[in-house]
Amino acid sequence: MGSLRVLELYSGIGGMHYALKESGIPAEVVAAVDINTTANQIYRHNFPDTPLWNKTIEGISLDDFNKLSFDMILMSPPCQPFTRIGLQGDIRDSRTKSFLYILNLLPRLYKLPRYILLENVKGFESSTARELLVKMLKECGYTFEEIMVSPTSVGIPNSRLRYFLIAKISTAHFSSQKILDTFPHPTESDSPEQPIVLSASHPGTCGPEEKIQADPVLYKLETTVEVQRKMKQNNDQSLRMIQDFLEPEMEVNMELFLLPPKTLQRYALILDIVRPTCRRSTCFTKGYGRYVEGTGSVLQCCMDTEVHHIYNGLDQCSEAEKLEQLSKLKLRYFTPREVSNLMGFPQTFSFPEEIPIKQLYKVLGNSLNVMVVARLLQLLVS
């Protein structure tokens, strides 16, 4: 196979481009398109030789697309119209305009791309946008697979469930009617399902060295189901430990990343706390570092203190005592580098120095897991 010409739409910080490199498929990104200034700055910093178009997709003519003569499209359209916390405006949301433009333009191309890969949030699978996409693919003679997977399926201790669609110009064996929740056609290297041992462990803590009563104390605002799910993940040997993804301690200015006192006092009961020996973390969103609820896990840096010792009886403490207790855990945010490690970005990936940390979290939250996409690209092209 010669080198594939790839068009990367909604290119962001280059997650798809890195996935392409990681997949080992001979390919060249002939153009990347995005309008986010910060994301483009990071993309340019990492891929200075790739033509990066800072323009809206609707602003690109059929003629411009034809000139690129691409074999593959990679795209991650805006997810806000489909998220469960959004308004779920679907195709009524103006942010789907560019995607509808692509669906209209694709069938009119001089040469149809052989391959398409699309990523979006859970929720996209039941949208009108997805119905229109599937209709277009069928009319143009593509077969496709739809898969809903998380990075945990490639051994990364981070939950980020996403919808993926991979399509290619028709070969009879490659189509399914239902959405898969695991990679199709498992390869030799796939590890078999690990038996889960729900041993006594504590919510928010982990590691074999901890002997804690089997009945977990719900010392935080967690349901028993959540606690058991966390324990199950922490016992899953197919997942790597968080410590594999951390920056060396001497390279992190801890003061910059410690949770501020106000945050500790106000949100102590809803923090998702993980330790370096954990095998789980929650999805990092673009609000990480600014908002607390549902935006990502925080790391416990002081291992001499057990989380449940701190939380037991916390409600009886004065505000000052509460703060003193919680500060013992040395809770900090994951650094942008660590978040990108958990999102599968390689060590060669880096940020331009002038971009503020908050902006880095924002663009990372909008990105995707590189290793998951690399695996899907191998399936698509194989």
Residue 255, SS3 per DSSP? helix
79 annotated active-site: yes
Q: What is the pLDDT of residue 149?
A: 94
Q: How many residues does the chain have?
A: 382
Tokens of 217: 């104390």
The two domains 4-190+369-381 and 192-237+248-334 share their CATH topology (first three levels equal): no
- Residue 41 CA to residue 61 CA, distance in Å, equals 24
Tokens of 363: 């663009």
Provide the residue ranges of all domains of the chain, joining segments of one domain with +: 4-190+369-381, 192-237+248-334
Q: C-alpha distances in angstroms, 85 versus 35, 121, 170? A: 24, 11, 36
**Active-site annotation holder among 79, 206, 278, 283:** 79
Give the right CATH number for 4-190+369-381 from 3.40.50.150, 3.30.390.10, 3.10.20.600, 3.60.15.10: 3.40.50.150
- Residue 350 CA to residue 352 CA, distance in Å, equals 7
pLDDT in tens, the chain (382 residues): 679 999 999 999 999 999 999 999 999 999 999 999 999 999 999 999 999 999 999 999 999 999 999 999 999 987 554 455 454 555 555 567 888 899 999 999 999 999 999 999 888 888 888 889 999 999 999 999 999 999 999 999 999 999 999 999 975 555 556 778 777 764 433 333 333 222 223 334 444 333 333 334 345 667 788 888 888 888 889 999 999 999 998 888 989 999 999 999 889 888 999 999 999 999 999 999 998 888 999 999 988 888 888 888 888 889 999 999 999 999 999 999 999 999 999 999 999 999 999 999 999 999 999 999 999 999 999 8
Q: What is the pLDDT of residue 74?
A: 97
CATH number of 192-237+248-334: 3.90.120.10
Structure letter (DSSP) for residue 151? G
Angle at 108 between CA 107 and CA 111, to 5 degrees: 85
Q: C-alpha distances in angstroms, 2 versus 25, 29, 83, 142, 350? A: 10, 14, 38, 21, 30
- Residue 350 CA to residue 341 CA, distance in Å, equals 11
Closest CA to 128 of 89, 180, 179: 89
Instruction: Provide CB contacts within 8 A for 217, sequence distance 6+.
Output: 202, 308, 312
- Residue 261 CA to residue 256 CA, distance in Å, equals 13
